[in-house]
A and B are shown apart, each in its own frame.
Chain A
Amino acid sequence: MSRLRPALRRVPPPLALLLGVALVLSAAWSLATAPLQGPDESEHIAYIEHLAETGHIPSATAGPGAYATDEVAARGSGFLRIYQNPLARQPWTDSAQSSYRAFEDKLSPAGRKNGSGPNPVGKNPPLYYALGAVVWKLTPGGHFFGRLFALRAMTGLFFLLSVVFAWLMAGELFGPRMLPRTVTTAVVALLPMDGFMSGIVNTDSLLAAIWAAFLWLALRTVRLGLSWQRAAGLTGVAVLSVLTHGRGLAIMPALAIALVVAWLVGHRTLRTTLVSAAGSAGVLVAGFVVYRLATSAGGAGGSLYGGEVNLGPKSTFSLRNLITTTWQFYFPRLDSLQPRLGPPIGYRQIFVQEYFVGIFSSFEVYFPYRVYDVVQVLIVVLVIVGYTLAVLRARTLLTHWAKIVVLAASAASMLAVLHVASYRALVNGSENPLIVGRYLLPLTPVFGAAVAAIVAGLPRRAGAALAVAVCFGLLVLSLGGIGMSLERFYA
């Protein structure tokens, strides 16, 4: 305790305040979204329960059922009927609660072990679920809804970590300038989608925290130069990303580029280079061993990951078609291009609607369309201002090329994996494009840093006004999303 107080006193006030805001928003999102109503939340909980109760990872393809008996009963008591149906409400009568509790009290231990699959998220690697299994076991009372509440709180902790790492990352970018640093962190803390996802059981929030830590460590390594400890630390975080989700594999190209950039900037000796490479390789090997142990002990038989590593039949995969499909995601179709595969979605739906502004619950809670229109225009204005500033200050920017390359490579790597996985799904006949806004959560610190760079590049008063406008807008969107969710489930 005597050590904790001075440590807490050293937390910069803007960070402490933003952490408080993030905590409050995360708790509010957790309560505003009814149990089991987040995207794939039932499946994530089923994975955690099965891992906690049996020590095994559920199968993605085989088995008698995805959910254990207590979750089946919870869904059957009204929570399945309200899923994606805004006309329905969860049960809130005393009798509904007491009858579920009575059922749960009579449930045999076997009734918590029978969710062996097929569970579609069973292909996910086990890190988030292993942490969740610990929380599951430690939750007092051992009741299903109490455990669900605790799991959501755990996800909220990952959100707070994202905020802390975003602060540290922004410190590497902006040095002692506190306003841009605060804006970067505030974007992470206030973005409605970040808050919403922190209030439900899902892997994306852990992945986002890991990526924020990676971005900080990568920039730090570039600034301080390569050493085996830094290379090993950075690689360790990358391994955590890979052990969290298939999309976490996108960190590997970013890791390679960060290490190369750090090497180029540092002009290290051959010996230092070799030792650093050995540090990185050692952690990679250790991570692979952990992965193999986890999958063999879990019984997944090495079948983890999905479309992120499996490109499907080679005959259907065409680089040209991938590029034209991706082009039409962002830009209008050129006459020479074939029509885009899949449903007519693009950056408006994924970036603006589902990510920067947000669509909540399981896609049935959303703002009036004019809100998305306004935000889309404001984003275009911000991009134009940012581009103009970049041109005007190109020389200054060039002195920071290493940091910019690391951030851009991380963003590009994630976007490339998302588009390849989406294309793979579409080209193999799926109608689901497998790309949604929440997949962009690992990039929130990068977007936050971009906004903060514009704030830093503008004259002081204009920069401060932009900081106020951005934070106000994001906070109001968050409160609006929480309010709409409360109405949708409880009014």
Chain B
Amino acid sequence: MRRGILAGFLALFAVWLLTAGLAYLLKSRPAIWATPTSEAYDVAQLTPIAVPGHQQICLDGMPWAPEARFVQVRVLPGLRARTPAIGIAARGPGYRADAVIPGGLAQNARATAAIRPASKEIDGTLCVTNRGARPLSFYGVPTADRLGAPVTVTVGGKPLIDRQLSVTLLQSHDKAILGRLGTVLSHVATFRPVGTWLVWILLALVLFGAPVAVALALARASVADDEVAAAAIAPAPGGTTPPSPPPSDPS
């Protein structure tokens, strides 16, 4: 029974790890470097920002870094309309990167531009230019809401007080978590008094130590029950059934 429990539990776990677990770790998804401003998850908090034709919207507080390789905003050209080309300009002390997102994106699409990353972490600005003649709206959130970030926003050079552009900086479009596990775990260690190495150890304990410990606990318990059952039915040396053991304090 002991071996059956151990083998059964660990086999089940291995199958799960190699199917569902691995599929989860290998699934490609956008690798986010930072969300310097928020994107509304609840549509009620979505606050569009219209940028006139040939004008730009700019905001500061952008954490440019070697990992910030893509800039992503979301567009609202209108239900049946398409976006014009969108210009992206990233700036910071000693850092300058420009890109263009081709036109043709539909309502609610994510507009993503690859940029030359900064060589080190710096605080900078981002300007997004509507290169079309008609106004183009972007996803934004209210500044006064809890989604608001401490950034300064301008549209066409004029301050925009009540709303801010939603910006996501990506490390990669499409990358599996397994391929950047080190980065993810280093993020876990930030704002905490632990090193990334400790997070790695914990991950190993969770994935490999915990299942073995649970399987062992069940197996040891089963062995103990088997021993009690065997003792209860084993004939005593004198040939008679042994008396029941006195009730013990189960505590």
Query: Which residues of chain A have a CB within 8 Å of any CB of chain B?
Result: 13-15, 17-18, 20-21, 24-25, 27-28, 31-32, 35, 76, 78, 80-97, 100, 141, 145-146, 149, 168, 171-172, 174-179, 181-183, 186, 190, 220, 364, 460-461, 464-465, 467-468, 471-472, 475-476, 479-480, 482-483, 486-487, 489-491
Contact of B217 among A97, A182, A486 (CB under 8 A): A182
Smallest CB gap from B203: residue in A: A28
Contact of B9 among A86, A471, A483 (CB under 8 A): A471
Q: List 27 interface pairs A-B (beta carbons < 8 Å), by A numbering.
A: A14-B221, A17-B216, A24-B206, A25-B206, A25-B210, A35-B192, A76-B150, A78-B149, A82-B35, A88-B41, A88-B147, A89-B35, A92-B190, A95-B123, A141-B193, A149-B192, A175-B247, A177-B225, A179-B218, A182-B221, A183-B218, A460-B1, A465-B8, A468-B8, A471-B218, A472-B13, A491-B184
Contact at A20–B209, with CB atoms within 8 Å?
yes
Contact at B213–A20, with CB atoms within 8 Å?
yes
Give the shortest distance, in Å, between A224 (CB) and chain B (any CB): 9
Query: Which residues of chain B have a CB within 8 Å of any CB of chain A?
Result: 1, 4-5, 8-9, 12-13, 16, 20-21, 24, 29, 31-32, 34-35, 38-41, 63, 65, 121, 123, 146-150, 168, 177, 180, 184-188, 190-194, 199, 202-203, 205-207, 209-211, 213-214, 216-218, 220-222, 224-225, 228, 247-248, 250-251
Give the shortest distance, in Å, between B37 (CB) and chain A (any CB): 8
Contact of A91 among B34, B38, B220 (CB under 8 A): B34
Residues of B within 8 A of A141 (CB): 193
Contact at A479–B207, with CB atoms within 8 Å?
yes
Contact at B188–A486, with CB atoms within 8 Å?
yes
The CA-CA distance from A482 to B228 in the complex, in Å, is 38
Contact at B41–A491, with CB atoms within 8 Å?
no
Residues of B within 8 A of A468 (CB): 5, 8-9, 12, 218
Known: A85-B40, A486-B184. 13 other contacts (CB 8 A): A14-B218, A76-B150, A89-B187, A171-B250, A186-B214, A220-B251, A461-B1, A464-B5, A464-B218, A471-B9, A471-B214, A476-B13, A479-B21
Residues of B within 8 A of A364 (CB): 41
6 closest A-B pairs by CB: A171-B250, A178-B221, A182-B221, A490-B187, A17-B217, A14-B217
DSSP majority for the B interface? helix
Contacts A182-B221, A461-B1 given; indicate if A35 touches B35 (C-beta within 8 A).
no
Contact at B188–A31, with CB atoms within 8 Å?
yes
Give the shortest distance, in Å, between A15 (CB) and chain B (any CB): 8
Contacts A14-B217, A17-B216 given; indicate if A178 touches B38 (C-beta within 8 A).
no
Residues of B within 8 A of A479 (CB): 21, 206-207, 210
Contact at B202–A31, with CB atoms within 8 Å?
yes
Contact of B147 among A35, A81, A93, A483 (CB under 8 A): A81
Contact at A32–B214, with CB atoms within 8 Å?
no
Residues of A within 8 A of B149 (CB): 78, 81
Contact at A145–B218, with CB atoms within 8 Å?
no
Smallest CB gap from A30: residue in B: B192
Contact of A90 among B40, B123, B191 (CB under 8 A): B191
Q: Which of A31, A146, A175, A489 has the most chain B CB atoms inside 10 A of its CB?
A: A31
Residues of B within 8 A of A461 (CB): 1, 4
